[in-house]
Amino acid sequence: MEHDAYQQIEHLRDELRRHEYLYYVLDQPEITDAEYDAMMRSLQVLEQQHPELDSPDSPTHRVGGAPREGFVKLRHSSPMLSLDNALNEAELREFDRRVREGLNGESFQYTAELKMDGLSMAAQFEQGRMVRAITRGDGEVGEDVTENARTIRSLPLRVKDALARFEVRGEVMMNLAAFNHLNAQRDREGLPRYANPRNSAAGSLRILEPKITSRRKLDYYVYFLLVNGEQVEHSQKAALEHLARMGFHVEGHHQTCRDIEELAAFCLHWEQNRDSLPFQIDGVVAKVDSIGQQQRLGWTAKAPRWAIAFKFPPRQAETLVEAIEVQVGRTGALTPVAHLKPVPVGGVIVSRATLHNEDEVQRLGVQAGDTVIIERSGDVIPKVVRVKSPGARRTPFRMPKHCPVCGGEIVRQEGEAASRCINTDCPARLKESILHFAAREVMDIEGMGEALVDQLVDRGLVKNVAGIYGLTLDDLLKLERMGEKSARKILDNIERSRKRPLARILNGLGIPFVGERTAQLLAEAFGSLDAIAQADREELQRAEEVGPKVSASIYEFFRETHNRQLVERLRAAGLQFTFAHANTRGTALRDLTFVLTGTLPTLTREEAKQRIEAAGGKVSGSVSRKTNYVVAGEQAGSKLDKARELGIDIIDEVRLLEMIP
């Protein structure tokens, strides 16, 4: 029996690894995401039943284990040195001349690779298992990020190869789609954006909570294969091919160049075509291909003589700042923006550049009328790099004291770079605030999506979040593409949302730094919205996980007149302003609706139902948009299909039990 389970588990792990490789490395999946998820669930259930068979390289560990206190420092097997740079073609040719000289006219070739703009990391393998991952650090000593690295799907945790011990080195990257997605999410949560994909990859890899790293969709591209700190193959090209055969993600655009002309052409090609890639590169790395010749060329104290980083020139241009204006973002953050005399930069006409915040304007010393250098770097939005020459007639910039859109108060908290309009009714913020308020994990008002909110705000039907509760059937029927049936349904959903618990309302208010978890902790600690609104900064800090920054943010929020009025309107709408302690029922699953389908591995249908209800949840017989989770077991049927169709979270018994204390 035990043996069977072992075989079954190993089989599932192998299959999952194979599909991860097909999906994340080759980008050629053979099965659907749902099939992959189902296979993962089966493995989770089996591992749960046989904890003694757990293994750190099981695909189930991709989701991230327990948080860390800090990172341990580890020494590299051999130093992770850097590369010398060539900043233009002349310097590239100079490098080629030194190589030819060093090799006494012997024939040789280059392997040219893209210079991936991420952060370098080494991963060590023993008996085919990934045992250690270390960031570059200062090149000698880096940080042990093994647990976080395990969550990177394109890094195989197990490799079939004859080498008993080896190490790979490469770049941890975040592709542009994942980067933009992450920043959009941070905007919604009122958190500062990451400046570029490299920073966000570095930040994500070095988070103390592997679960968060797991969600960040990192990638790992390798270019070195080492044994005892030495390269093993006879050439770089062979090493890349070996790595690819082992199942690692090797960037596919590398090319053999027979001479400097081919190399220069490769560099120029990628300088011009870098925007066609799904990730960022900042140059080309050229390596003498033969490892024997590399050894003869040797190293300087800092870098190999056999390789060079050809850095793309920054895409800069010079232009005039016509004005500096302030833009109000979705979270109320004010961003000074330089309006420029339009100028082409790297093939794009730029007429605006961000100045980020007040401090940055000071640092640059930029004023309207100045001639500046702007740059399109890794970031999507161009920025001002420096003042080239001050204008004869200059206008100094001052952060406004009142919001340019609504006239509300602007607050800049201590220790924060951003100044914010703290009026939630500000039209610049309103649509986003309503969408946040109505979101599924917040007040859960189904149907209150972008199309509807746009119309409600544009027609002045809703002037603040509380306005939702004053909507009538007539109001809704005036809107485009709105039939009576849908209108009634929306009103129904709004009605239902009045009963949501305090924590959700608190989250829904959109107070900067107060998300789902903080809201829950505050609700539990203070018991009512009024108690929170009246508390001073110190009192607020008595709640778990609330520090000076968060408490200041909450305090300011409830001191703003518009916000106080909003709270009163919500009260008048009959929302629950007190924390309901459930006496007999648990609260872990409160307000959540589950649908059970298929045979669960350990619980009967009735037992599962009782457990869910005891924790405050509801069990329904059919899947609809109101379903929060579908709990699926073996031979799950049409309910599972329906759940997939509606995009409802599908979980297994293990996950369900994890949700119940």
Q: Which residues bind ligand IVH (CB under 6 A)?
A: 81-83, 113, 115-116, 120, 171, 223, 285, 304, 307, 309
Residue 115 or residue 436: which is nearer to ligand IVH going by CB? Answer: 115
Among 60, 17, 41, 59, residue whose Cα is nearest residue 640: 41
Instruction: Report the DSSP pairing between strands 593-597 and 629-632.
Output: parallel
Q: Which residues contact 358 (CB under 8 A, 6 or more apart)?
A: 336, 399, 412, 417, 419
Query: At its nearest, how many Å lie between ligand IVH and the CB of residue 125?
Result: 19
Shortest distance in whole angstroms from residue 198 CB to ligand IVH: 10
Q: Min. distance of Cβ 81 from ligand IVH in angstroms?
A: 4
> Cα(142)–Cα(334) distance, rounded to whole angstroms?
38
* Exposure string over 639-654, b if 16+ CB within 10 A, otherwise e: bbebbbeeebebbbbb
Q: How far is the CB of 25 from ligand IVH (least distance, A)?
A: 17
- Cβ–Cβ contacts within 10 Å for residue 615, how many? 19
Question: What is the sign, positive or negative, of the torsion defined by CA atoms of 379, 382, 383, 388?
Answer: positive
> Could you give the CA distance from residue 595 to residue 153 in angstroms, rounded to a whole number?
30
DSSP string, 35-103: HHHHHHHHHHHHHHH-GGG--TTSGGGGG--S--SSPPEEE-SS------EE-SHHHHHHHHHHHHHHT
Nearer to ligand IVH, 309 or 355 (CB): 309
Q: Are strands 119-126 and 129-135 parallel, antiparallel or unpaired?
A: antiparallel
Q: Which residues are catalytic?
A: 115
When the beta carbons of 137 and 633 are compared against ligand IVH, the nearer one is: 137
Q: Which is nearer to ligand IVH, 166 or 223 (CB)?
A: 223
| Residue reference for tokens 């208010």 | 509
Q: Closer to ligand IVH at the Cβ: 173 or 438? A: 173
239 neighbors 230 (Cβ within 8 angstroms): no
Rounded to 5 degrees, what are φ and ψ at 270? -80, -25
Smallest gap from residue 146 Cβ to ligand IVH (A): 19
Residue 237 CA to residue 630 CA, distance in Å, equals 49
| Residue 94 identity (one-letter amino acid) | E
CB of 250 to ligand IVH, least distance (A): 10
Our CB check for ligand IVH shows the closer of 95 and 577 to be 95
What one-character-per-residue DSSP string does 116-148 give? E-SEEEEEEEETTEEEEEEE-TTSSEEEB-HHH
Closest distance between ligand IVH and the C-beta of residue 113, in Å? 4
Nearer to ligand IVH, 95 or 629 (CB): 95
Distances (CA, A) of 553 to 150, 429, 546: 36, 17, 10
> Which residue of the chain is nearest ligand IVH when measured via CB?
120
Tell me the sheet residues that pair with 352. 339
